[in-house]
Amino acid sequence: MVLSSLPRHVGLIMDGNGRWAKKRLMPRTLGHNAGMNAMIELARHSKELGINYLTVYTLSTENLANRPKDELEGIFNLLRKYFSVYVKKLYKNGARVKVIGDISPLPADVKKLLEDGEKNSPATADFTLTFAINYGGRAEIVRAVKALGACGEQICEEALSKYMYTAELPDPDLIIRTGGEVRLSNFLLWQAAYAELYFTPVLFPDFSCDEFDKALEEFAKRNRRFGGV
């Protein structure tokens, strides 16, 4: 695949795991399981293509508040598995992981694994996989405004950006949402100001590298004007 432009940072709203499982008369947790496998493939593929940042929406603030306990426990188990086993392969390939969101209410062992996952990452890497966990764009903005107010800095866009979870990441160039819904559901609200948006009905566990490439091809055709002519 030869593209005229490649996004530096892709945000991925991994939606449709539950419906994928339901179609197969399986518990929702197995849909999340299949979703994690898809995500691992997409991270590998993104790195190979030369994309520098992939941010995956894993659990929203609303998901943590509103999903049944057993489904949340299934998601925590997947995080346990990813951050104790799979993350090592990522490091070996010279990539790092980052977590954004408020992980303080998560089970203590999961929280520790996430913190270690970041800490043990290589210091420099050409690929960063960021997990948005108990993440909400509105909560992030409120948190940043509070921090900025507390230190008495002048309020401006640049200063506020520094207090976002994503301070060290470039803004996403492309945001992909699988699963057919056409909304952001509180994902990267501040950072998405000039992101190109791509929506597909494909349920996340079926979102293959080929499907991802279709989104990249569409991105390459977009005319990004940033308010210019």
**Strand partners for 12:** 56, 176
Among residues 7, 9, 11, 15, the one that binds Mg ion under rule CB under 5 A: 15
Query: Which entry of Mg ion, ligand IPE, none binds 57, CB below 5 to 8 A by partner kind?
Result: ligand IPE
- Minimum distance from residue 36 beta carbon to Mg ion (Å): 15
Residues in the interface with Mg ion (CB under 5 A) total 1
Among residues 10, 179, 215, 216, the one that binds ligand IPE under rule CB under 6 A: 179
Number of CB atoms found within 10 A of residue 87's CB: 22
Q: Are the beta carbons of 211 and 228 closer than 8 angstroms?
A: no
Amino acid at 187: F
Exposed/middle/buried for 208, CB within 10 Å: 0-12, 13-18, 19+? middle
Annotated active-site positions, please?
Answer: 15, 63
| 57/212 with CB nearer ligand IPE | 57
Place of tokens 């401006």: 156
Element of type H or E holding 196? strand 196-199
Place of tokens 């349920």: 203
Query: Which entry of ligand IPE, Mg ion, none binds 59, CB below 5 to 8 A by partner kind?
Result: ligand IPE
Among residues 77, 93, 161, 185, the one that binds ligand IPE under rule CB under 6 A: 185
Measured between alpha carbons, how far is 128 from 166 in angstroms, rounded to an integer?
Answer: 12
Element of type H or E holding 75? helix 69-81
| 140 part of the interface to Mg ion, by CB under 5 A | no
Question: Binding segment for Mg ion among 15-23, 30-38, 157-165, 187-195 (CB under 5 A)?
Answer: 15-23
Instruction: Give the binding site for Mg ion (CB under 5 A).
Output: 15
Instruction: Give the binding site for ligand IPE (CB under 6 A).
Output: 13-19, 57-60, 63, 75, 179, 181, 183, 185
